[in-house]
Amino acid sequence: MKATIVTIGDEILIGQIVDSNSSYIAKALDKIGIATHEMLSISDDKEHILTTFQKLQNQVDVVLITGGLGPTKDDITKKTFCDYFNDSLIEDEKVLQHVKDIIEGFYKRPITQLNKDQALVPSKAKVLFNKMGTAPGMWMEHENTIFISMPGVPYEMKYLIDNEVIPNLVEKFERPFIVHQTIMTYGRGESLIAEEIEDWENNLPSFIKLAYLPSPGRVRLRLTARGNDEWVLKEAIKNQIISLTPLIEEIIVGFEEDDSIEVVLGRKLKEKGFTIATAESCTGGKIGQMLASIVGASSYFKGSLVTYATQSKIDVLGVSKEIIEKYSVVSEEVALEMVNKVKQIMGSDYAIATTGNAGPSKGDSEADLGVVYIAIATPNKVFVERFDFGQPREKVIDRAVNKAFELVYKEI
Amino acid sequence: MKATIVTIGDEILIGQIVDSNSSYIAKALDKIGIATHEMLSISDDKEHILTTFQKLQNQVDVVLITGGLGPTKDDITKKTFCDYFNDSLIEDEKVLQHVKDIIEGFYKRPITQLNKDQALVPSKAKVLFNKMGTAPGMWMEHENTIFISMPGVPYEMKYLIDNEVIPNLVEKFERPFIVHQTIMTYGRGESLIAEEIEDWENNLPSFIKLAYLPSPGRVRLRLTARGNDEWVLKEAIKNQIISLTPLIEEIIVGFEEDDSIEVVLGRKLKEKGFTIATAESCTGGKIGQMLASIVGASSYFKGSLVTYATQSKIDVLGVSKEIIEKYSVVSEEVALEMVNKVKQIMGSDYAIATTGNAGPSKGDSEADLGVVYIAIATPNKVFVERFDFGQPREKVIDRAVNKAFELVYKEI
């Protein structure tokens, strides 16, 4: 079972937007054992779309297409479907009613012809009802390939994938098994890890593949086993994990796809009934946002005080003006003040504070670019560490955020 | 001049990470008049890479490749380069010294064989020096196509694009002209806009293309003109803008690529010497983060108080417990309290507050899913509005954030 994902839109090819749809679709396919062969982004050009369909026809089992279904002139996917499959557009009553409900009922606007045209679909296509928007999805079977067209708006595409596309694919195909196991690590680089597990890696059976997925401050190791007997695959993976774990135990945070250090941190806080808060300067609120983004975060995440300007460190956190003047705003002393104050204001058990100079230019302080102080408060102690994260800005922020999680994690 | 961008990595094809590199590269190419024909993501598989190179050979002028240059076993791009171009690896002294500086000098770790191997490059390749990491870029000319390989780590790729790839391409090629003009609008859907500018759109000359780029609460209109005389293209675009503007003047926020409503808002605040702060609940700090992400934000952005849990609205903002109990945490009254308190605490001229129920399940309040109250404080008034943003969660948050910017924007 092979699939190719196609995104249609000049806005992608000139770099105006990042294509996040393909990644969502690939993940959903992977879960049901359908391998994504390629992802492809092409232009809103009829000829380009047609030649792409021709190339993919009978080369893969499924082609999943997003984009070009909007109401405007540059949206030509539907017409191109008709040309390629030699079909014509007909009005779908259920979709038309749905469009009316959205435009007249929800947005309280008179319905336009462009709105009505959203209800036109190729006569041979199975309509995939789009509860989240006005553009329906389309399922077209042609020779040995299924062409599935979805809107490019992410939450509409996601609704169709979860509620229409995946269920239909599961029903239609017998699929081989793909078993993934992710090992989440933190605080050590991929080449060091590779050295430590070299012998183990060399002895992996041929049907199991290892991938290193590094991002600042963390490396995900991913084992992938392919075969026809799910039980055999799972056993094989389980045994590999048993032999791998002792080699890098001290840096493993978890074995779930979403066991990023902040998620595991959140879980530990929740288990123990502890709460956490942040006071952020150079990290601009990113530590808090990552904590807040976890489902159920409100049970342990009190909130964050993003004191961006120096003055707001004084006004909001109550850091003393004297300390800032004496030691500068990027200093051990200010970081400690920040963490103590936020812990007190938020009434949390743990707290994180950051102050640094992410660059690209020197801001309110004379600190070198890349220098960040991270202070941690726990129920029974407070400490601060100085880091030099180099440049560029985004790397400094990412590494500061991850280092902060790492420092707290060890304390819980 | 046509280019194809290729990302190599199973982690992309199984949806574990989103490919943001291609978008950055495409934008850089577009700026110098090189059109991206396609973007392609393929697996870490030697055969797959080789057949892709064969397909692209002589089909496009430039192939830009990211990924597969790491130090570990699943990184095979370099070896595959040697196979395809029938070359062998040699050690580059400058790169080796650089790797030593990073590992031994910066990370203070003994250098490993895997680290040293990073300095091996195909003998026929021009080395693109990667100041940001250990993996060098490679520039290989073969028949009518240039193959450029870069690491997949975003800030390393960006460094190579800006400092090596683009300068070399500019020097090597005569390029046609591409002129883009973006019109940033807010608060009106794409089909309504399309109706209003239909006649104008129908009369566009054939060498000018219009694209609609909708995202929650805002639509970007993009005009693209291609040709050989830059002056002619610019004049034509200028004249089209002159005839378009009166048709939708009231919803235009700007004409720059980055004139998103928050950027224009920031600019207006800066000009007038006003400051702003936010108190956020259901938006989880996103409004503040978007303000903080703008360069120079510290001159007008005081900071944000992310009072995630109900209790922290009381502890941090000092919202009265009685009001929360009487009207519930998702209410006009609480939103007004929040905005007044944060304006006072932060000492800002303007303030935004949000409280709502983003879903998917009902949280601390009985409010319907999708209901959000947004309160705005200006130097001389305070007001609140109730919105029903429906579902899903991400749509509610995005629309609340954009609506908040829209409400403040009108007041400045």
Give pLDDT tens digits for B231-271: 999 999 999 999 999 999 888 888 887 678 888 899 899 99
Cross-chain residue pair B285–A284, CB shorter than 8 Å: no
| Residue of B70, B194, B312 with shortest CB distance to A212 | B70
B225 contacts on A by Cβ (under 8 Å)? none
Whether A158 has a pLDDT exceeding 70, the answer reads yes
Task: Pick A155's closest partner by Cβ from B44, B315, B394.
Answer: B394
B191–A154 CB contact, under 8 Å: no
Put simply, whether A245 touches B (Cβ < 8 Å) is: no
Q: Return the number of other C-beta atoms located less than 10 Å from residue B131's C-beta.
A: 12
What span, in angstroms and rounded, lies between the C-alpha atoms of A390 and A370?
5
**CB distance from B163 to chain A under 8 Å?**
no
Q: For residue B228, what pLDDT band results from cuts at 50, 70 and 90?
A: confident
pLDDT of B253 reads 84
- How many residues are given for chain A? 412
Residue of A nearest to B25 (CA): A15
Contact A285, A301 (CB under 8 A): no
Whether residue B369 is predicted with pLDDT greater than 90 in this model: the reply is no
Region A54-67: what's the mean pLDDT?
96
Among candidates B22, B74, B304 on the partner chain, residue whose Cβ is nearest the Cβ of A211: B74
Least Cα separation, residue B86 to chain A (angstroms): 26
- Identify the band that residue A2 occupies on the pLDDT scale cut at 50, 70 and 90: very high
| A207 close to B (CB below 8 A) | no
The pLDDT, as a whole number, for residue A13 is: 94
For chain A, what is the mean pLDDT? 90
Residue A233 burial class via C-beta count within 10 angstroms: exposed 0-12, middle 13-18, buried 19 and up: buried
- pLDDT at res. A297: 81
Mean per-residue pLDDT, B348-371: 83
Is it the case that residue A365 has pLDDT exceeding 70?
Answer: no
For A126-142, what is the mean pLDDT?
Answer: 94
pTM given for the model: 0.71
pLDDT of B363 reads 62
Respond yes or no on whether the N-terminal peptide bond of residue A167 is cis (omega within 30° of 0).
no
**Per-residue tokens: A134:** 């006005």
What's the rounded mean pLDDT across residues A379-404? 89
Which of B8, B171, B1 lies closest to B74 in space, CA to CA? B8
Report the pLDDT averaged over residues A268-293.
Answer: 89
Q: What is the mean pLDDT of chain B?
A: 90
Closest Cα to residue A388, out of A352, A359, A353, A351?
A: A359
Residues of A in contact with B210 (CB under 8 A): 73-74
Distance CA B230, CA B241 (A): 17
B306 and A284 within 8 Å at the Cβ level: the answer is: no
**Residue-level pLDDT at B384:** 97
Residue B285 confidence (pLDDT) = 84
pLDDT confidence of A369, banded at 50, 70, 90? confident
Quick one: tokens of A293? 């983004």
Instruction: Note the CATH architecture for domain B177-256.
Output: 2-Layer Sandwich (3.30)
- Residue B82's pLDDT band (cuts 50, 70, 90): very high
Residue range A170-216, pLDDT digits in tens: 999 887 788 889 998 988 888 889 999 999 999 999 999 888 887 77
DSSP state of A62: E
Least confident range of A332-336, B113-117, B159-163: B113-117
**Is there a contact between B19 and A23 if contact means CB atoms under 8 Å apart?**
yes
pLDDT confidence tier of residue B359, bands split at 50, 70 and 90: confident
The two structure tokens encoding residue A382: 């407070």
Q: Please, what is the Cα angle at B153 between A285 and A353, to 5 degrees?
A: 20
Over range A276-288, report the average pLDDT. Answer: 89
Chain B CB contacts of A23 under 8 Å are: 12, 15-19
Q: What is the pLDDT of residue A227?
A: 87
Quote the pLDDT of residue B404. 94
Check residue A83 and give its pLDDT.
Answer: 94
C-alpha span between A368 and A359 (Å, rounded): 9
Query: Could you tell me the pLDDT band of residue B140, with boundaries at 50, 70 and 90?
Result: very high
Residue of A185, A222, A257, A306 for testing the chain B interface, max B β-carbons within 10 Å: A306
pLDDT computed for residue B175 by the predictor: 79
Mutate to test the interface with B, among A30, A73, A76 (most CBs of B within 10 A): A73
pLDDT of residue A282: 85
Tell me, yes or no, if B222 comes closer than 8 A to chain A by beta carbon.
Answer: yes
- Per-residue pLDDT, averaged over A122-137, amounts to 94
Distances (CA, A) of B394 to B217, B291, B397: 13, 19, 5
Rg (CA), chain A: 26
pLDDT of residue B109 exceeding 90, the answer is no
Q: Which of A145-154, A284-293, B68-77 reaches the highest mean pLDDT?
A: A145-154
User: CA-to-CA distance for A227 and B172, rounded, in angstroms?
Assistant: 49
* Rounded average pLDDT over B346-350: 94
Question: Cβ of A19 and B16 within 8 Å?
Answer: no
Contact at 8 Å (CB) between A278 and A339?
no
**Pairwise CB contact (< 8 Å): A41 & B44:** no
Q: Which of A180-189, B67-76, B90-99, B276-285 has the highest mean pLDDT?
A: B90-99
Q: Is the dihedral of CA B167, B168, B173, B178 positive or negative?
A: negative
Please tell me the distance in Å from A224's CA to the nearest CA on chain B: 10
Q: What would the two tokens of residue B29 be?
A: 């190419």
Q: Identify the pLDDT of residue B260.
A: 80
Altogether, the residues listed in chain B come to a count of 412
The pLDDT score that the predictor gives to residue B342 is 95
pLDDT at A67 over 80: yes
Q: How far is A126 from chain B (nearest CA, A)?
A: 25
Predicted ipTM of the assembly: 0.70
**pLDDT confidence of residue A363:** 62
What is the reported pLDDT for A201? 94
Which residues in B lie closer than 8 A to residue A297 (C-beta atoms)? 308
Q: Which residue has the higher pLDDT, B151 or A71?
A: B151
The secondary element (H helix, E strand) that includes residue A354 is strand A350-356
Minimum distance, in Å, between the CA of residue A49 and any CA atom of chain B: 11
Asked whether residue A108 carries a pLDDT value surpassing 90, the answer given is: no
The CATH code of domain A2-172 reads: 3.40.980.10
| CATH architecture of the domain with range B261-411 | Alpha-Beta Complex (3.90)
Query: Coil, strand or helix: which one is A283?
Result: coil
Average pLDDT estimate for A125-145: 94
Q: Rounded mean pLDDT of B76-80?
A: 90
8 Å CB contact between A7 and A43: no
User: Contacts from A35-38 at CB under 8 Å and sequence distance 24+?
Assistant: A35/A1, A35/A2, A35/A3, A35/A178, A35/B13, A36/A2, A36/A3, A36/A4, A36/A5, A36/B13, A36/B14, A36/B15, A37/A2, A37/A3, A37/A4, A37/B13, A37/B43, A38/A4, A38/A5, A38/B13, A38/B40, A38/B41, A38/B42
CB contact under 8 A, B194 and A132: no
Does the beta carbon of B107 lie under 8 angstroms from any beta carbon of chain A? yes
Which band of pLDDT confidence, cut at 50, 70 and 90, is reported for residue A43?
very high
Q: What is the largest CA-CA distance in chain A?
A: 77
Q: Which two tokens stand for residue B72?
A: 């570990």
pLDDT at A148: 97
pLDDT band at B322 (very low <50, low <70, confident <90, very high): very high
Residues of B in contact with A25 (CB under 8 A): 15
For B258, which residue in chain A has the nearest alpha carbon? A16
CA distance B194 to chain A (A): 7
A19, pLDDT greater than 90: yes
Residue contact B288–A307, C-beta within 8 A: no
* Closest to A9 in 3D by CA, of A60, A77, A61: A77
For residue B122, CA distances in Å to A188, B88, B91, B356 come to 29, 5, 9, 58
Largest CA-CA distance found in chain B, in angstroms, rounded: 77
Q: A38-47, A242-251, B216-225: lowest mean pLDDT where?
A: B216-225
B286, closest residue in chain A (CA to CA)? A289
Cβ-based neighbour number of residue A250 at 10 Å: 7
Does the pLDDT value for residue A149 go beyond 70?
Answer: yes
pLDDT at A364: 61
Q: Which of residues 21-60 of B touch A (CB under 8 A)?
A: 22-30, 35-44
B209/A74 Cα distance (integer angstroms): 9
Structure tokens of B155?
A: 């800030």
More confident of the two residues A269 and B293: A269
Residue A355: predicted pLDDT: 94
Q: Which of residues 357-376 of A touch B (CB under 8 A)?
A: 363-364
**What average pLDDT does range A94-114 have in this prediction?**
89
Domain coordinates in residue numbering, chain A? 2-172, 177-256, 261-411
In chain A, what residues touch B181 (CB-CB under 8 Å)?
none
Q: How far from B292 is each of A164, A245, B285, B352, CA to CA, in Å?
A: 39, 41, 10, 14
